[in-house]
Each structure stands twice: as C-alpha cells, then as structure tokens.
Chain A
Amino acid sequence: MDLSTNYLGLQLPHPLMAGASPLVDDLELVQRCIDSGASAIVMHSLFEEQIRGEALARTHYGEAHADSHAEARSYLPGLDEFRLGPDEYLERIRRIRALSSVPVIASLNGTSEGSWLRYARSMQEAGASALELNLYELETDPHESAAVVERRALEVVQSVRAVVTIPIAVKLSPYYTALAHFAGALERAGADGLVLFNRFYQPDIDIDALEVARTLKLSERSELLLRLRWLAILSPQVKGSLAVSGGVHEAEDAIKAIMTGAHGVQLVSALLRRGPEHLARVLSDLREWLEQHEYDSLEQMRGSMNLKRCPDPRGYERANYVQLLQSWRFELD
C-alpha cells in the first residue's frame, strides 16, 4: 500500500509524524519514535520569550551578587560555560539529525522580528528540514485590532521566508476571525503549509488559594472535530500542505484527517500517553484499514471529505445545530 505523502515539499513514506512535544528532549525517546516509523520529527517550539527571560534571569542571578562582598567574587559558577536556550535547541536538532535520515521540523515562537530571523536562520544551519512557525500570541491589548495582529503575522512569515530556503509551515490557533482568508494570505506571504491547530496552556483557578493555576492537559479525541472542520474548509482552497495536530490518537482519527485534506498527521498526546511505539500501531492500523477498504493508495482518499468533495458540505457549515441535537438524542437511544 502506498502511504506516501508530500508534506511541505518533503517526500515522506507516510503522513504520521511525532508532533511537537517534550519527547524530543530525550534522544532515547526520539530514537524510539524513529524506530516506530515516524515519518518526521517535529521539535517543540523554541520560545524566544523564554530564552530571553532565562538569559536575563540567569545573568541577573549570576551577576546580582557578584563583586558585592569582599569574601566572594560571585556566588554561582561562571556562566560562560553554559549553553543558552538557542544553542541547546540547535544542538538537539543536530543530534536528532545525526540519528537517522528522518526529517526534523524545527519550531519557533518569537515575539520580535529580530529573533524570528536570527533563530530561523540558525535552525536551518543546524540542519532543520523545515520550519514550523508557531505564530500564536495572546493578544490582550484592547488597542490592537485583528487586522494589526494579522498583518504582523504576515510580516513575520515574509521576513522568515526571505532568510531561509527550507520549507515553512505556520502553526495556527483556531481563534482567527476570518481564518479562511488569513490562510490564503499566509500562503501568499510564503508559507508552504499550515498546521491546525495549536493547543495552549489553559489557566485554571484554585478557588481556595485564589491563585491562577497553569495546566496543560493532554488532548482528547473529541478535539479532533474542530480540526477536521477547518481542514475540510481550507483543503480545497490552499495550494500548499495541511497538517493536523491535536486529537489524533488512533488510525481512524488519522484517516478522518487525511480525508479532510491533511498531508501530515502529527501525534503527540497519544505518544506521550502510550509511548512512541504507539505510532507503529497507528501506522499498521492505517495500512490495514486502507487495504481492507481496498484503497489504491493513501493519496486516493486525501481530501475526499473536504468542503468541496464531501457529499453534504452543509455538514461543515453552520446552522446544523438542531440536526445535531436530534442525532445526539438518537445516539442516546
């Protein structure tokens, strides 16, 4: 069965890849992902904000008390010896690249244009096969309009496009007012593909301590549905690649994503829960399903259920609330 796919111009044996997760921090786990057949390894984001914050904090705590007392030059060992955020990240790209020929997709979340360019270039130099730009920022400024936010994102894509030659994917959040329009603009700005969607830390509240608690829960399969809808909507429209991220746990989920137009399928929570070897099971289930259902190739089903080709496009559109409730009740019976 031909499961091959072309994602961002990368010819991959199949669409199942290890998505952005802490797995990549451990080379042994990465090796297990590769051994399980992952078609690509997506690095988790290099958060510019974190790097900057850590560099400043480290320098602050290293220097704050230096040369302040006669008995000590400093209170922590010299910091020169320690690699900083980007170096650590770049080194990891190199090491994963050295493990096998599986493509490595580096990911970047920046907050200033300078850092986007600097880090993007470094990632390419370190051997990244493609870049995933994690554009999400939480916009809390009441004076900033959606248009400004979108324009800034497009500028980032344009400028990164200008400095790297490797393919660029843009990982989006679902919270855009006019996502279909924005997706087109991103392509025109130079994006080779889109990843749907980012998942975030969600603040929770500790009602006793009156504190905000940060949580990140692993995805549930139910989250796939939002992604399927947008894959279906964007699939007929975009020229580049689409990938799904969030809610793919079993082969059935992957099949749905591919049917709605995905070129790449990123697994994260399922691998964190069940180990990297789960990818091999999903892959074999996928192959088996295609064989059982007598598909010629994976390509045959890609986009079969998108907005343009599915039997009833209204299913993806709004105003189906009542029907859903009815069907829901039906299921309960």
Chain B
Amino acid sequence: MARFITVDGNEAVASVAHRSSETIAIYPITPSSSMGELADEWSSKGRTNLWGQVPEVIEMQSEAGAAGAVHGALQAGSLATTFTASQGLLLMIPSLYKIAGELTAFCMHVAARSLATHALSIFGDHSDVMACRPCGFALLASGSVQEAQDFACVAHAATLEARVPFLHFFDGFRTSHEVAKIEPLEDATLLAMYDERALLAHRSRALTPDRPSLRGTAHNPDTYFQAREACNPFYDACPQIVERAFERFAQLTGRRYQLFEYSGAPDAERVIVLMGSGAGAVDECVERLNAHGARVGLLRVRLFRPFALERFAAALPASVRSIAVLDRTKEPGALGEPLFLDVLAALREARELGLAHWSGEPRVIGGRYGLSSKEFTPSMAKAVFDELARAKPRNHFTVGIVDDVTHRSLEWDPNFEVEAADVVRAVFFGLGADGTVGANKNSIKIIGEETELYAQGYFVYDSKKSGSITISHLRFGPRPIRSSYLVRRASFVACHQFGFLERYGVLEYAEDGAVLLLNAPHAPAELWDELPREVQQQILDKQLQVWTIDAAQVAAASGMGNRINTVMQTCFFAISGVLPREEAIAKIKQAIAKTYGKKGAELVERNFAAVDSALAHLHRVEVPAAATSKRGMLPPVSPKAPEFVQRVTAAIVAGHGDLLPVSAFAPDGVWPTGTSRWEKRNIAAEIPVWDASLCIQCNKCAELCPHAAIRAKSYDAGALAGVPGTFKSTAARGKDLPGSHFTIQVAPEDCTGCALCVAVCPAKDKSNPRHKALDMLAQAPLLAAERENYAFFLEIPEADRAAVKLDNKGVQLLEPLFEYSGACAGCGETPYIKLLSQVVGDRLLIANATGCSSIYGGNLPTTPYTANRDGRGPAWANSLFEDNAEFGLGLRLGVDALTREARALVAQLAPALLPQALAEALLGAHVANEAELREQRARIDTLRRALAPANSPAAARLAQIADYLAPKSVWAIGGDGWAYDIGFGGLDHVLSSGRKLKILVLDTEVYSNTGGQQSKATPRGAAAKFAVAGKTLGKKDLASMMMGYGHVYVARIALGAKDSQAVKALLEAESYDGPALVIAYSHCIAHGYDLALGAEQQKLAVGAGAWPLYRFDPRRAAAGEPALQLDSGAPTPTLAQYMRGETRFRMVEQADPGRYRSLVAQTERELRERWSVLEQLATPRPAATTPSTKS
C-alpha cells in the first residue's frame, strides 16, 4: 500500500523545496509564511537536502531582499529557492526580471494571494501571480495539496533543464492551508526527477573568479533588442521539457499530469478553462452534469507560461462550441483578464496554424471568480455552464457575488449539490483559544494516516485576535477529496462555544438528520430551555440528533484549563461514526502520547484523563416536540446603530458578508470610522469590578486597557441626574480633576477579560490586600446592570480638553478615540494608540504600516478609530507594509499644501471679503494647546460664516479647506518589522527630511502578525522563528541610530514601566517642530506569558536596562543643555530575572543552558556599555573655558 501523510499545501511544497535547495532566502508573508518557517525549522533540526547538505535558511528584511539574495545565490551557482505571496511577490519583480533575463535555473513557490487595492486581503487569488506574467518566468499552477507537492518537484526538475526560472503557484489558503491526505514524494523520486547533467550545467554557469565572466552589462540601442531576443529558444523548448518532466514523474509515481488537461465528456460542447484549485469544484460539477446527460468539460491550465499553443489546441475536444474562461484576478480597464485574452489569442492563432481540430469558431466568454478566496462551488460552475448554453451568453461576467451596480454577475442555484453520500462532512465552531482547529488537524491526521479513508480539513478564521471564531470544515471519504470549497451541508455539526448559538447561524450547516454536538455549561435536562427559539426550531425541522457535554468543566477537572480540544475531539469520535468508537478512542490516545510524550508525562496523563472523562460526561439530549424558548437570537449589532452599520456591518458580523451586493460598498474603499462600538462581543468570562472606596484615582487601569473597555471620568454632580441604581460614583480626589465626582466604569460587553487593569491596580484593601480597587468577577451576573451603567457613563459629558492637566493621570480623563479593537486580550500595543488618540485628540491623521496594528485598526467588520461628539477624530489609512513612513510623509506634505493654500486664500480675500482682524487673527494664531486650538476653530467657524454670502470661486475654495488653518498632526504608526526592517530605509529618509512627521513604533521585538518571526528588534537570547535556538546578535538600537541625526526628537517609552514619561514623550514629540520617533515597548503574545503581567515585565525590562527610557529633544540642545534626558536608572543585575519570566527566553535557556548564560552575560555587558554611552550623552558638558595661555 502506498504511504500517505496528511499535510497542508505549504508543508507539502516546502518539503520538496527544502530537499531540493541549498540556499533559501525568505521574508514572512501570509499565506506563504509557514513554508519558510518549516524550512527553517527543518534546517535547524539538521535535516538535509537530497545531496546531504543542510540548506541555509535566511530571513531577509523584505521580499525585495529575499529576491536579491536568491539572485546572488543562484549566480554563485547554488540551488536556491524562496516562498512568497501578494505584495511580497510584487517587491520581488525587479529581481525576477533579472533572474529570468539571465536564464537562471530557479524555482520559487507562491501561495497566490490578493493584492492590496481598495483594501488589503490576505486571502487567495491570482492577482499577484498575474502581475508577474511579463517577467519571463514559467508559471505553473497546481490546484490541490497533492498537486502542489508534485508540481513543486516538477518545477524544480524542469527549471534545471530549461534554464527558464519557474514560479510555481497554488491558491493561498484554499491549497496552502488545506490539510489533505496525500502520497508523499520520497527522496529517491526527487533524485530520479533531477537531471544530474543539468545540475552540473547550473554549477558550471556560476560566477567565479576561477572562470571570470561579467554579468549585468548595460547595452545601448544598437544591441539591447537583439540580445534580448536571444533567449527565445529556451522559452520555445520549455513546454516540452515540462511535458517530459510530467512523463518522468508519471513513470515514477503513477500520477499523470499534462500541460493542459482536459476532463469531462469527450464530445463536450461547453468547456470551462481555468487554473488553480477551482478546477476541483468544476470537475465535480462536470461529472454531475454529464451523469445527467449534459456534454460539458473542463480544461485545466497547468503551464500558463510559456503558453504551449499546440498542446492547448490538442487538449480541447473537437466538439467544443463554447468556452468560458475563468480568471481569478481582475485587471480593471482591460478587454479581459489574462487567461481569457490568452485563450482568445490561442484560438485565433491555432486556427491560423491549422491546429484547430474543432469545427466552427467556438464562442468564448470570460469571467472572474474567487477573488480573495471567495467561495467557488460546483453550483457556480454550473451557472457558468448554464450561461454558455444561452443564446447570447454574457461576456466579462462575475460569478460568486451579486453585482447590482454593473449587473455582470451570474446567478447560481444555492441548492445545487454534488457531494457524495458516502463522504462524512463535519463543521466545528470553536474559539481561537480553545484549541478546536488544532484538535481537528489532529483528527484529520488520525483518520488520514491510520485508516483507509481520505481526509480534508479547511479552517476559516475571523479577523479578531481576541475571542476569535474558527470554523473547521472537515471531509472524510473513501476517495481522494476534490471539493475545493467549504462544507455547506454537514452530517456532523459541533458548537464548541455555547454562546455562538445565539449569535451565528451554526445550524445552517446541518443537513437533515445530522448529529449536533453542543458544549454547554448546562445539565442535559436543562439544555433545551437554554437554546434560542430559532435554534430549537431548526433542530426540530432538521430532526437533528443532539448531544451535549460540559467540556469546560470536564477540561478543568482533568487539569486542562480552558483547553477543551481533547474533550471535544473525543466526543466527535464517539458520536460522529467516522470510525468505530473503541478504535477511535485508542487512536486518540496514541496521538496524545505522540504529541505530548516529549513535552512531559503530566500532559499525557491529563489528556488521557480528559478523554476518559469526556466519554463519561457526554449525553444525548431528549428533543421535545415543539420549540418552547422565549429567547431569540441576538441581533449582530445594536438596533441603535446607524443605517450603514445595520445594513453592511451587521451582515458581516453575522457571517453573511458573502450576501452583500456590490452596491453596499464605496467603490474607492472608503469606510466609516467608529463602528466597533456597535458590535458587542461579550467575550469576557470575568470583568473588573470597581471598589470606589479603595480607588486612588490613578487611572492606570484605563491607561493600560488595550480595548478602552475601562474608562475614567470626572464630572460635576449635575451629571448624575437619572443615575442607575448600581452606578458607582465617588468624590474626586485632588484639585487637578475637572469635576467634583469620579467614576471608573467597565464596558462589560467590550472587555476581553485580560485582567491587565487589575494587575496594575495599586490600591489594596489594607485589611485584606487580596481585595483591590479592581477585582475580576464573573461577567454574567453583572452584565445587565453594568451594561446600563456603561451606557449612562458614556452619556456623562466628556472632560473639557482645555481644563485637564495633560499628565499620565489627567490624559486618561479624556475621551479615547480608539476603542474596542479586535486586538489580543492583554495587547501591549493598543494602549499606546489609545493614549495617542487622547493626547493628540481629534486632529490626528494616521499612516499605518501593515501588521497587527493595521489588522486590529482596519480589518472588517468593525473599525475601532472613532470620532468625538463634534464628529472629529483620527483619520486613518494603511498604504503598504514597506512604504508607511513615506506614505505618512506624503500625508504631511499634502496637509501642508492645503494649509498653505488656505492661508494664501485668507490673505487674498482680506480685507475685501473678510474682516482684516479675523484674517490677521487666523494667520497669526499660535496654536500650542487645546485652548488655543479651540479659539482657532472658533475663528474658522467665523470665517466660514463670513464666507457664506461671498460668491467667488476663491471663497468657495477657502470654505472647503478652512479647517486646515487649524493644525493637524500626522503620525506614522507601525511595528518593529516595519520600522527596523522592511520600512527602515523609508523611515530613515523621512526622519532625515526634517519634516514634521511623527513616528510611533510599537515594538514587540518580533513579527507579531505573521506569527513570531525574528526582526532586527528581537533581543539576543530570545527564541523566534528564524532564530529558533535564540537570537545570537543583539537588538538593533534604532533610537541611538536616529539620535545621531541630531535634529530628530527620539524617545524610548514603556507605558507599563513609567507612564508619566510615556505621556511626556508623546506630548513633546507632538509639539516638536520637526520629525519625531517614539519607540514603545509592547508586550505581546509572542513573548509567551500571561499578558496580565505585561506591565510587570515592562518594569523588569526597564530596570534591567533591556529597555532604557529616555528622551532626546533637539530643543534642549538648542538651549545649551544635553539633548538627551535619561528617564530610567542604570541597569541593575536583574536581566536574568526579566528574561526568565517569558517563554521566548526560557525555551532558549532550556535548550542550551550554557549558551544561554553566555548570551545573557553578553547582553548584560552590552546593555551596560550602551547605558554608559547614553549617560555620557546626557551629562551636561562643562562650560567652555578660555584656553590657558600658560604652558
């Protein structure tokens, strides 16, 4: 029997690429990141390539860097590869032209992904690959996990012979992340595929001083053109080389592929042409339609470039009368998308060359499908075939969406189903943190590798980083599974979080008679009454078999904490019928022993206990005859929300975003701010409860809350009219507060329960210090009252910005304009953004680099940046990852241009149209604080009123841009990956420009968003991906580098360690009339500890000197003082203590204690040295003395 493995597409491809390469240069980007990570992991374990060498894996500063590095490695004669996607691929394009132009044997692998246009999307389509068509690369498309692995091998083999570089691509997520049972490629197969002579030839072309040659010459008009044509024979020969490789591959493995592969009726009249994973859905549709008498077919394009005309023509059935070409990309303004245009050209040329063996001229239409992983189902394929059957099929259509603007979309029948009855389909709703996806991957492994059944898993995540939902789609069946789309009718549905039932259409996935498994905190007999009425009705209508378990309780009792994965996995095997129960349980235990055996016997024992206990606590629920519940499902957003939120945001929140038509969206990607407040997520099991009698009103809770879900207000007694009975209020302490009363209030439905606020609360009960001014208590019993209290709290007037003292305490009384984001519970970044929104308030423009902060800042469905009652608030945009500093500078330049224009118009229009005094006041105003800002805004209002009667174009222009007479603050925000690595060149340039752009770096010391890859901000001794054994070199000292300019305001801050300094730094950066760089220590889940202790770790980091606090203010230098002020003390010998508290360091210590100690010692030395330099810089220089004349 053939050997099988269950892996995802990325792993399948990376395995081939790693074994076939010597040098691997990468840069992480979704959805390709895991290929590089796996390659690195394997190399760090010493896994060798086919020739016994451990490939070197190097992480670069950007994809442009990775492409440059592989280009060099290839020129040096080595076998190199890289993995990328989307914007990363775009950054590689210049190098790709070079690599191809030099006829270099090279294969790279792309998990194809959408490009950032009107919006960023991490999901799959061919937009990125299609942008590379002219580079001169062969483009080879695979459409399943098995194919992705196989084509990786074929591509590596073919490029060696062809010397045409290969870009092997497969659909991001759908293939890269689908877990499937495949036949692996053994080393012997790979070796047999690679031609030894071609390998030697590659080596012989190496750039070497032993056989000196020169490349990269510059040509003139006399030679460039003809020299460029010299490569033609290689492209002519390439398709045959691929064909021969496919043939060799078939002989070795039995799996046969063709350049263009036709399947379906031999006498088909209607044919769909496409490439990638969509072929699976079309194939299923073709089979079903043909079984019912249709004559349809599918032509898969494998090798898109070089386009083999002859093979294309030969592959089409002679009976073809109409063709629909489906492109998974969009080229606005083109006559059609790339594959469509190529097919048109191919048909025409085939006719001219006499290759057309079909009669007549087939009708050809083109359409778009599947952008950004939009579902593409057999039903949609049928819609395309139906369209082809019409007398006048529509061209340039779309399928999979509803286009109610240009009416190009095809309708499809949602009830057209092709799934076989003998395939078990299961859908699981889980929480990101509960381990559901991991457990399902494990189940697939068990079934895929231990039984005859084929298995497939695909996982859908929402975009939140706290309380995120995962939906797992699993299929198990007797044949290889081609279904490249989500499960829609499942025979098994599990809801691992009871609360989901009242929020999402969980049961929409259940087919009639399906098994429903509910994790519920209720006794089986009481469960029915706890279900919403709609759910009850669906259970009855679909005659579902309902089972329940209190998994949280079972997991806790087994010592598993909140990880219910093992419990729920056991239940799945016990009642889904995929495997005989006893066999399944034995296999789960084997899998547990394998997974956790190395991690500790205790873990194995606890998991075993969870398995046994799960079986004992799993109960069948008796279903009554009628729906009885009085409770209905919850609305996705508040009924008070604005119309757009009700119509659009609500649909996305409810999981029905696919149903929104084109007209729901602004055509340019503009989106309203302030929508996160309408989605009440209720994800905290416990929330902080305030004891006013203990509170010292330091506001640290509000300051460090990552979600603006606990707030402070000071107000006058009058605000308490109509106060709810449980609302807490106390006398304001201190004279600085703007009101006589004070309240700390939690937003019970927005809190994530991270407990950071409680951890930083310094106010303890003197008799019982365990009780503090904030304690975490169960949310459910408090919800109703606190919801009402929070609503009341929000109505209390906001503090007067001009009246509040802008220090760490006072700033927290100001309205945050960044709230309820989807950031991780305990996030260390978001408090800084919130703080900035409080400090700078409502005149903030933000350029946000791609990364965590752009995801929680701008990923649908909701937007956390919000406006105040005047309608002003942060305006936010994400351009790219790499260009954020430049983009921010551009915003600054643009704002300055409008300001100049407005000022010029004021001068121009006075005194004829404007009172001279007003004009002078407007132009002469010095706006350095909130009071002055308010005055200027009042003048602008007066100006507008004065302009209203005027009827000149100049007056109209001024009225439109009058607001620019008040200053706007432009900040570029991003993570360390941006600032230290990919965007460093731009950041450096922008700061050097002297322009008034402010930069906030949220430094987590690692690439957080893409999953913990090292950056140059990663400190020595920390484990990160690409530094698995712990980083050897020290953290890049970005602040010192930028201080070197002299004219840049620079600060290093750590809110949890010294909030007063952080607030001061932001205020100084803001007020400085020049560029500013503020680098903020941000604790992160990638550090591996309970983030409730984030502030504690920050203190330790500062104390140990790992994160010195300082401010470098060029204004001080101008005043004759040292520009640098140190805000923390000399390093204390507590570095080891700081590091010990975080898994990222501790795992390095455990791996090699000796090496770790030396890394720590080296770091201590370095920190002391850096500190002494800082100290010198901060020491006032003695006044210059007159040189003595004595000798």
A82–B1148 CA distance with the chains assembled, in angstroms = 8
The reply to whether B1150 and A66 contact each other, CB–CB distance below 8 Å, is no
A118–B604 CA distance with the chains assembled, in angstroms = 14
Nearest-CB residue, chain A, relative to B1007 = A72
- Total contacting residues, chain B, CB less than 8 A: 63
B1153 at the interface (CB under 8 A from A): yes
The reply to whether B173 and A70 contact each other, CB–CB distance below 8 Å, is yes
B1031 to chain A, nearest CB (A): 11
B1139-1159 interface bits toward A, Cβ cutoff 8 Å, 1 = contact, 0 = none:
000011011001101100100
Residues of B within 8 A of A69 (CB): 432, 461, 463, 465, 468
B374 to chain A, nearest CB (A): 15
The reply to whether A73 and B1011 contact each other, CB–CB distance below 8 Å, is yes
The reply to whether A77 and B437 contact each other, CB–CB distance below 8 Å, is no
B702-714 interface bits toward A, Cβ cutoff 8 Å, 1 = contact, 0 = none:
0000000000000
A35-59 interface bits toward B, Cβ cutoff 8 Å, 1 = contact, 0 = none:
0000000000000000110111111
Residues of B within 8 A of A73 (CB): 33-34, 37, 1011
The reply to whether B1147 and A79 contact each other, CB–CB distance below 8 Å, is yes
The reply to whether B1086 and A75 contact each other, CB–CB distance below 8 Å, is yes
A67–B433 CA distance with the chains assembled, in angstroms = 8
The reply to whether B122 and A55 contact each other, CB–CB distance below 8 Å, is no
Given contacts A58-B1143, A62-B1088, A66-B438, is CB(A71)–CB(B764) below 8 Å?
A: no
Stretch binding the partner chain, chosen from B88-96, B545-553, B1021-1029: B1021-1029
Given contacts A70-B122, A85-B1150, is CB(A55)–CB(B602) below 8 Å?
A: yes
CB contacts under 8 Å to A, within B915-970, are none
A15–B1151 CA distance with the chains assembled, in angstroms = 34
CB contacts under 8 Å to B, within A100-127, are 114-115, 118
B988 at the interface (CB under 8 A from A): no
Given contacts A71-B1010, A72-B33, is CB(A61)–CB(B1089) below 8 Å?
A: yes
Nearest-CB residue, chain A, relative to B1014 = A77
Residues of A within 8 A of B563 (CB): 60, 63
B596 at the interface (CB under 8 A from A): yes
A214–B456 CA distance with the chains assembled, in angstroms = 52
A273 at the interface (CB under 8 A from B): no
The reply to whether B1143 and A57 contact each other, CB–CB distance below 8 Å, is yes
A68 at the interface (CB under 8 A from B): yes
A88–B31 CA distance with the chains assembled, in angstroms = 36
SS class, residues of chain B in contact with chain A? mixed
B697 at the interface (CB under 8 A from A): no
CB contacts under 8 Å to A, within B567-616, are 596, 598-603
The reply to whether A75 and B1008 contact each other, CB–CB distance below 8 Å, is yes
B263 at the interface (CB under 8 A from A): no
B44 at the interface (CB under 8 A from A): yes
Residues of A within 8 A of B1025 (CB): 77
Residues of A within 8 A of B31 (CB): 70-71
Which of A58, A77, A115 is within 8 Å of B41, CB to CB?
A77
Residues of A within 8 A of B667 (CB): none
A82–B1144 CA distance with the chains assembled, in angstroms = 12
B470 at the interface (CB under 8 A from A): yes
How large, as a class, is the contact surface on chain A? Answer: 35 or more
The reply to whether B1153 and A88 contact each other, CB–CB distance below 8 Å, is yes
The reply to whether A84 and B600 contact each other, CB–CB distance below 8 Å, is yes
Given contacts A51-B600, A56-B602, A88-B1153, is CB(A81)–CB(B1028) below 8 Å?
A: yes
A73–B35 CA distance with the chains assembled, in angstroms = 11
The reply to whether B1086 and A84 contact each other, CB–CB distance below 8 Å, is no
Residues of B within 8 A of A77 (CB): 41, 1012, 1023-1025, 1027-1028, 1147
A65 to chain B, nearest CB (A): 5
Residues of B within 8 A of A75 (CB): 1008, 1011-1012, 1084-1086, 1088
B373 to chain A, nearest CB (A): 10
Which of B441, B459, B603, B766 is within 8 Å of A56, CB to CB?
B603
Residues of B within 8 A of A26 (CB): 1154, 1157
Nearest-CB residue, chain B, relative to A48 = B602
The reply to whether B459 and A67 contact each other, CB–CB distance below 8 Å, is yes
The reply to whether A81 and B1011 contact each other, CB–CB distance below 8 Å, is no
A69–B433 CA distance with the chains assembled, in angstroms = 10
A27–B1153 CA distance with the chains assembled, in angstroms = 10
Residues of B within 8 A of A10 (CB): none
Which of A55, A68, A115, A210 is within 8 Å of B599, CB to CB?
A55
Nearest-CB residue, chain A, relative to B1142 = A61
A261–B435 CA distance with the chains assembled, in angstroms = 58
Residues of B within 8 A of A74 (CB): 1011-1012
A58 to chain B, nearest CB (A): 6
A25 at the interface (CB under 8 A from B): yes
The reply to whether A76 and B561 contact each other, CB–CB distance below 8 Å, is no
A126–B977 CA distance with the chains assembled, in angstroms = 44
Residues of A within 8 A of B461 (CB): 68-70
B212 at the interface (CB under 8 A from A): no
A217 to chain B, nearest CB (A): 17
A67–B1011 CA distance with the chains assembled, in angstroms = 10
A294 at the interface (CB under 8 A from B): no
Given contacts A63-B438, A77-B1023, is CB(A83)–CB(B1151) below 8 Å?
A: yes
CB contacts under 8 Å to A, within B34-51, are 34, 37, 41, 44-45
Nearest-CB residue, chain B, relative to A210 = B769
CB contacts under 8 Å to A, within B971-1029, are 1008-1012, 1023-1025, 1027-1029
Given contacts A59-B599, A74-B1011, A118-B601, is CB(A68)–CB(B433) below 8 Å?
A: yes
Residues of A within 8 A of B159 (CB): none
The reply to whether B561 and A72 contact each other, CB–CB distance below 8 Å, is no
Given contacts A58-B1147, A64-B433, A72-B1012, is CB(A52)–CB(B1089) below 8 Å?
A: no
The reply to whether B432 and A68 contact each other, CB–CB distance below 8 Å, is yes
The reply to whether B1150 and A71 contact each other, CB–CB distance below 8 Å, is no
A52–B1146 CA distance with the chains assembled, in angstroms = 15
The reply to whether A82 and B173 contact each other, CB–CB distance below 8 Å, is no
The reply to whether B433 and A65 contact each other, CB–CB distance below 8 Å, is yes
A151 to chain B, nearest CB (A): 24
Given contacts A55-B602, A62-B1143, A63-B435, is CB(A76)–CB(B1150) below 8 Å?
A: no
A20–B1028 CA distance with the chains assembled, in angstroms = 32
The reply to whether B34 and A59 contact each other, CB–CB distance below 8 Å, is no
B848 at the interface (CB under 8 A from A): no
A80 at the interface (CB under 8 A from B): yes
A103–B561 CA distance with the chains assembled, in angstroms = 42
A116–B620 CA distance with the chains assembled, in angstroms = 41
A243–B602 CA distance with the chains assembled, in angstroms = 33
The reply to whether A72 and B1143 contact each other, CB–CB distance below 8 Å, is no
B30 at the interface (CB under 8 A from A): yes
A64–B766 CA distance with the chains assembled, in angstroms = 36
Which of B438, B766, B769 is within 8 Å of A67, CB to CB?
B438
Given contacts A57-B1143, A77-B41, A210-B769, is CB(A72)–CB(B1011) below 8 Å?
A: yes
The reply to whether B432 and A65 contact each other, CB–CB distance below 8 Å, is yes
The reply to whether B1143 and A76 contact each other, CB–CB distance below 8 Å, is yes
Which of A55, A71, A78 is within 8 Å of B30, CB to CB?
A71
Residues of A within 8 A of B769 (CB): 210-211
Which of B435, B766, B1010, B1154 is within 8 Å of A72, CB to CB?
B1010
24 A-B residue pairs with CB within 8 Å: A56-B602, A56-B603, A58-B599, A59-B596, A62-B1143, A63-B435, A65-B433, A65-B824, A67-B437, A67-B470, A68-B432, A68-B461, A70-B122, A71-B122, A71-B1011, A75-B1012, A76-B1144, A76-B1147, A77-B41, A77-B1024, A77-B1025, A79-B1147, A118-B601, A210-B766
Other A-B contacts than A62-B1143, A68-B461, A76-B1088, 4 sampled, CB-CB below 8 A, are A70-B31, A71-B33, A73-B37, A81-B1029
Give the A-binding residues of B (Cβ under 8 A).
30-31, 33-34, 37, 41, 44-45, 122-123, 173, 177, 432-433, 435, 437-438, 441, 459, 461, 463, 465, 468, 470, 561, 563, 596, 598-603, 764, 766, 769, 824, 855, 1008-1012, 1023-1025, 1027-1029, 1084-1086, 1088-1089, 1143-1144, 1146-1147, 1150-1151, 1153-1154, 1157
Lowest 8 CB-CB distances: which A-B pairs, in order? A72-B1011, A68-B432, A55-B600, A67-B437, A210-B769, A61-B1088, A75-B1086, A75-B1012
